């Protein structure tokens, strides 16, 4: 009987972890936290500021992000950081998935406490 409970708890735990991994790109989340949080707040708060079309426009228009951050040396340094450059597609996907009209509302789930600014 004890083995059945252990197996059931193990299955539930693994499913919960898989669900959390599907909903969050932890690499993108941590990159945004490291590079952008000081000015823009938490990654989920930042993503909710504009809709997915705007995120797509800013990331795929050459020089647009640099123009927006003109005169802000820390922000420009973050845009030139190797993590930002190499993970740009992942960051865009994260922002689109969590954008203003994406329908996802993230709160604290013990992994990330997300929408407080």
Cβ neighbours around 66 below 10 Å, total: 12
Return the residue matching tokens 């203003």.
Answer: 100
Amino acid 116: pLDDT:
42
Distance CA 34, CA 84 (A): 10
Spans in the chain with pLDDT lower than 50: 109-110, 114-117
φ, ψ (nearest 5 deg) of residue 110: 75, -10
Placement of tokens 């735990």 in the chain: 13
Q: Tell me, what DSSP letter sits at residue 14?
A: H
Q: 61-81 pLDDT, tens per residue?
A: 999 999 999 999 999 999 999
Return contacts of 15-23, CB within 8 angstroms, 24+ apart: 20/109, 20/111, 23/104, 23/106
pTM: 0.70
Contact (Cβ atoms closer than 8 angstroms) between residue 94 and residue 25: yes
33 in Cβ contact with 103 (< 8 Å): no
- Boundaries of every domain in the chain: 26-97
Per DSSP, the three-state class of 41 is coil
Instruction: Give the pLDDT confidence score for residue 66 in this predicted structure.
Output: 93
Q: What pLDDT is stored for residue 117 in this prediction?
A: 39
């Amino acid at each position: 009987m004890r083995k059945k409970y252990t197996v059931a708890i193990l299955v539930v735990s693994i499913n919960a972890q898989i669900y959390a991994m599907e909903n969050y790109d932890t690499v993108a989340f941590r990159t945004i936290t490291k590079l952008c949080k000081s000015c823009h707040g938490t990654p989920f708060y930042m993503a909710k500021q504009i809709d997915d079309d705007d995120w797509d426009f800013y990331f795929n228009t050459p020089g647009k992000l640099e123009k927006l951050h003109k005169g802000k040396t820390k922000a420009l340094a973050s845009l030139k950081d190797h993590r930002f450059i190499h993970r740009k597609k992942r960051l865009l996907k994260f922002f689109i998935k969590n954008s203003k009209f994406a329908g996802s509302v993230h709160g604290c789930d013990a992994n990330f406490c997300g929408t407080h600014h």
